[in-house]
A and B are shown apart, each in its own frame.
Chain A
């Protein structure tokens, strides 16, 4: 049993003298300037909340009442040494002046609401897709979907369902970001692309050197092509065990086999896997105090992504028989984690649910909005994309209402376009983090005059007299 560390004593202020407050007694308590309010970034599901406001004004760019775009002033900065292309690009994105539009023609917000309401009312089966928004936006959209008998599905649910199918058939043992940061002495990343999708994951979570338990000897091993290894800076290093995307499943199988002490099937060695390295990794996993296996479901190969997730989760569960281990899934950007959480607590199912019959009906195959559109199903598409400009609605000829951030890429002119603000920039909003436990409350500081998704949903409900 390790004794309590000296740090524990420091964290708790020394006993104050009689009559003094704890604040007066501790040197730490009086050190440093007042803490600056921080800024939380909405541009991936890590939701880093340690961005610093720009020195001086720290806040809004002024916009005109009709939703003129924001310039690059007021971009929060990251703590020294951190680099995040997503945050920089997201906050600095110059959003073009945007007006609500009906059939490509600039109109007043109220006219766009009227037109959108008419489309929804006329549609036999409205499809509520995209869903890149905050908790209040989701609440508003789900109110609408329930009242209008719609289908609800998030833009990026295909990736999410690689996890959901495992959760619904097997379950898992998982951990969260702070646990990984402090406890994981071995982090095994399965597949490539995490550094691109979650740029500060290695720096903030997997690569930190000091934990509350003292200095931490942590290793990071990536099973993939190793491109991420180039993304980290000393002292973080990533060892790579080469595997192609179509070899990830076999790699996990080999790992599980090695953990069980089973002989490796010859076919695996022939498939180009470094079986020796995987066997050695298995030994390191067994010796680790808290190994964490990390994956991003959206980045796994489409063909057997869910089976890879299942395999990882079974591997982790096997380990827990004799040692602690856990999984960590990085997913849920573009409001995906938020959409899933709110839909689950309000409607009972994570996504791909139809309210057309007056009760929630769940069918991940049938109520996949992208597939429905390809099949020619659905009477109208109400697409919400309030965070990233790249979350375009799928190509479709059915009437489309696009509720989007200014500059949202659109393949054609939608029947109605309503520009909205982004949570954490233009208005306050809650977003759920990738580990689905922590929800951040983002504060918006820019005064662009753009309505929020919640505002638009509320206006639509009122217009539809719901």
Chain B
């Protein structure tokens, strides 16, 4: 059965297509070469429409224990954000911490077809995949958290062979069904359990003696040598602490050519200048990033309103507890594996710090030049709920709108920012890179994020509008694997996406090491930790897509 999308204006940066009017031919869920004369079962006339691949969110907290803690803790988040059951869709609710159904539906309505949970604890991997299994419409995947797990810290401090450590990293990716690895406050989540309240890049862990720098380099080098496409995904030290711009610069320098992805960079770009000792470090950081090609970033933009911070960084989440709004929070130490912290937050435009955070994120967006190395995120829900992406896109594409917004926020903050001087406006092509082609390439999704022959027919069609928020909020059509799933911003068909994983090679001897460790010290055995393929298949016919990894270097 052939579907033809006729006459749309295509933005497909992975294939160098910048605003070319072209037809798209779809058969059996994939984009195929044009077949003039073939029997077309369904044709959509897209004259004048803007066409991109389905959106890809490389960092969004959509599945796992900490999000669920947020849901239970915040019934007030759901009030007023309920969605009535329809013949197609389940009733659901939530704004900053939506239910899994709400998350899937809202993402699809916005034209996204792929979402990645960035902070999956291996101890909690099963729950993460169960929640993602109940997230309809979109493809998904997750990054396994390593770096505060006692087993890795024992290996590093015990000077284990790098090959052993790589085996452990690879095993963890298999067992937790991950596509990438993330490190959160390297060693810091563990150090907090020993009553450390901070851990700088070169500070020694109170028990293991290893430093965050060592942990980052061990994991980054390991992943590169394993052939995993996505670089180590780094939530760096000192999140949210004024002066952490220096930490970020030192972390970039430490990479020394190794690929590294710095996540929610906005939260790590704070200086200490000015009367309130809080300033923007964005300009310096952007300048270094522009000339350090091994570094990619996502921003984690703060937008005003009520949201909830949810993070594996128990140390820093404990640190911000006094700012909780409403005044409640959860901190957990988890399974000698990691931790978490869930702290609701309201960002206010008249608050100096929040307004400057808003400026800093936008400064980073506008100063970092290569859209292939920067991804659009709000670190949902930490900076803002993902439903704010269209508003964010408008801020990036429309300098006059930005200027109007600047006039409404705390002016002391504006005075500390160079944002008023930044006139850059993102083009549609650059937006397509930042929200589709770039994340797909970075994560190693071979058949997503572009519109070339053979890829999954995940296609989003927008009606151009001068108001870019309106344009991106309500796509005219969204196709997922060739099925029309959304029309004019409303779900017309419910589908279930695939789970993307990466499976680097490892020596199975590591399993005896891990099994022994679990038997001696943990409260589950190794068999319970592994999430088996049949567990993901069992739900809604969930398929697994194993994305390629490179050849392992030793």
Binding site for B on A (CB under 8 A): 1-5, 7-9, 11-16, 21-26, 28-30, 35, 37-38, 40, 49-50, 135-136, 139, 143, 146-147, 164, 167-179, 181-183, 204-205, 210-213, 289-290, 320, 323-324, 326, 340-342, 344-350, 355, 358-360, 362, 430, 432, 436-441
Give the total of B residues in contact with A, Cβ under 8 Å. Answer: 89
Besides A346-B134, A436-B68, 4 other A-B contacts (C-beta < 8 A): A12-B164, A13-B510, A211-B521, A355-B91
CA distance A15 to B158 in the complex (A): 12
Q: Per DSSP, are chain A's interface residues mostly helix, strand or loop, or mixed? A: mixed
CA distance A168 to B150 in the complex (A): 31
Contact between B333 and A326, CB atoms less than 8 A apart = yes
Q: Is B328 an interface residue (CB 8 A)?
A: yes
A selection of 20 A-B contacts at a CB cut-off of 8 Å is A4-B208, A12-B154, A12-B165, A28-B513, A29-B509, A146-B85, A146-B90, A146-B91, A167-B69, A168-B73, A171-B329, A175-B333, A176-B335, A179-B193, A179-B335, A181-B522, A212-B521, A324-B194, A348-B93, A437-B127
- Given A345-B99, A346-B101, the answer on whether A432 and B127 have CB atoms closer than 8 Å is yes
Contact between B513 and A13, CB atoms less than 8 A apart = yes
Q: How near does chain B come to A180, taking the closest CB pair, in angstroms?
A: 8
Determine the residue in chain B with the shortest Cβ distance to A175: B333
* B residues in contact with A38, CB < 8 Å: 525, 527
- Given A345-B131, A349-B75, A349-B78, the answer on whether A1 and B528 have CB atoms closer than 8 Å is no
Q: How near does chain A come to B327, taking the closest CB pair, in angstroms?
A: 8
CA distance A465 to B158 in the complex (A): 61
* A residues in contact with B370, CB < 8 Å: none
- Given A171-B330, A438-B124, the answer on whether A29 and B512 have CB atoms closer than 8 Å is yes
Please count the residue pairs between chain A and chain B whose beta carbons lie under 8 angstroms apart in the complex: 271
Contact between A344 and B68, CB atoms less than 8 A apart = yes
Q: How near does chain B come to A443, taking the closest CB pair, in angstroms?
A: 9
Contact between B100 and A345, CB atoms less than 8 A apart = yes
Q: Is B14 an interface residue (CB 8 A)?
A: no
Contact between B123 and A437, CB atoms less than 8 A apart = yes
- Given A49-B528, A181-B521, A320-B318, the answer on whether A355 and B85 have CB atoms closer than 8 Å is yes
* A residues in contact with B515, CB < 8 Å: 35
Contact between B92 and A348, CB atoms less than 8 A apart = yes
Among candidates A12, A21, A24, A35, residue contacting B155 with C-beta atoms closer than 8 Å? A12
CA distance A205 to B524 in the complex (A): 11
Cβ proximity bits B119-143 to A, threshold 8 Å, 1 near / 0 not: 0010110110011001000000000
Among A13, A26, A172, A210, max chain B CB count under 10 A is at A13
* B residues in contact with A432, CB < 8 Å: 127
Cβ proximity bits B89-124 to A, threshold 8 Å, 1 near / 0 not: 011111000111110000000000000000001011
* B residues in contact with A205, CB < 8 Å: 523
Contact between A22 and B78, CB atoms less than 8 A apart = no
Contact between A182 and B521, CB atoms less than 8 A apart = yes
Contact between A358 and B84, CB atoms less than 8 A apart = yes
CA distance A126 to B292 in the complex (A): 61
Cβ proximity bits B513-550 to A, threshold 8 Å, 1 near / 0 not: 10111001111110110011001001000000000000
Q: Is B350 an interface residue (CB 8 A)?
A: no
Q: Is B421 an interface residue (CB 8 A)?
A: no
Q: How near does chain B come to A393, taking the closest CB pair, in angstroms?
A: 26
Contact between B90 and A22, CB atoms less than 8 A apart = no
* B residues in contact with A25, CB < 8 Å: 509
Nearest 9 pairs of A and B residues by beta carbon: A23-B509, A12-B160, A8-B158, A4-B157, A359-B82, A8-B154, A171-B328, A15-B161, A22-B509
Contact between B71 and A170, CB atoms less than 8 A apart = no
Q: Is B334 an interface residue (CB 8 A)?
A: yes
Within 8 A of A (CB), among B34-72: 65, 67-69, 71-72
Q: How near does chain B come to A332, taking the closest CB pair, in angstroms?
A: 13
Q: How near does chain B come to A8, taking the closest CB pair, in angstroms?
A: 3
* A residues in contact with B535, CB < 8 Å: 430, 441
Q: Is B204 an interface residue (CB 8 A)?
A: yes
Among candidates B193, B205, B538, residue contacting A183 with C-beta atoms closer than 8 Å? B193
CA distance A430 to B528 in the complex (A): 11
* A residues in contact with B525, CB < 8 Å: 38, 49-50
CA distance A400 to B302 in the complex (A): 51
Contact between B151 and A347, CB atoms less than 8 A apart = no
Contact between A362 and B528, CB atoms less than 8 A apart = no
Contact between B336 and A439, CB atoms less than 8 A apart = no
CA distance A423 to B360 in the complex (A): 51
- Given A205-B523, A346-B134, the answer on whether A359 and B155 have CB atoms closer than 8 Å is no
Q: Is B206 an interface residue (CB 8 A)?
A: yes
Contact between B123 and A438, CB atoms less than 8 A apart = yes
Q: Is B83 an interface residue (CB 8 A)?
A: yes
Determine the residue in chain A with the shortest Cβ distance to B518: A178
* A residues in contact with B522, CB < 8 Å: 178, 181
Contact between B521 and A441, CB atoms less than 8 A apart = no
Q: How near does chain A come to B440, taking the closest CB pair, in angstroms?
A: 27
Contact between A22 and B517, CB atoms less than 8 A apart = no
Among candidates A139, A146, A176, A181, residue contacting B333 with C-beta atoms closer than 8 Å? A176
Contact between B193 and A11, CB atoms less than 8 A apart = no
Q: Is B365 an interface residue (CB 8 A)?
A: no
* B residues in contact with A50, CB < 8 Å: 525
Contact between A26 and B99, CB atoms less than 8 A apart = no
Among candidates A7, A22, A177, residue contacting B507 with C-beta atoms closer than 8 Å? A22
Contact between A24 and B509, CB atoms less than 8 A apart = yes
Contact between A170 and B328, CB atoms less than 8 A apart = yes
* B residues in contact with A28, CB < 8 Å: 512-513, 516
Q: How near does chain A come to B16, taking the closest CB pair, in angstroms?
A: 41
Q: How near does chain B come to A137, taking the closest CB pair, in angstroms?
A: 13
* A residues in contact with B134, CB < 8 Å: 139, 345-346
Contact between B91 and A359, CB atoms less than 8 A apart = yes
CA distance A181 to B204 in the complex (A): 25
Q: Is B276 an interface residue (CB 8 A)?
A: no
Q: Is B15 an interface residue (CB 8 A)?
A: no
Contact between A323 and B195, CB atoms less than 8 A apart = yes
- Given A24-B509, A345-B99, A432-B127, the answer on whether A174 and B72 have CB atoms closer than 8 Å is no
CA distance A50 to B524 in the complex (A): 8
Within 8 A of A (CB), among B420-472: none
* A residues in contact with B216, CB < 8 Å: none
Cβ proximity bits B367-387 to A, threshold 8 Å, 1 near / 0 not: 000000000000000000000
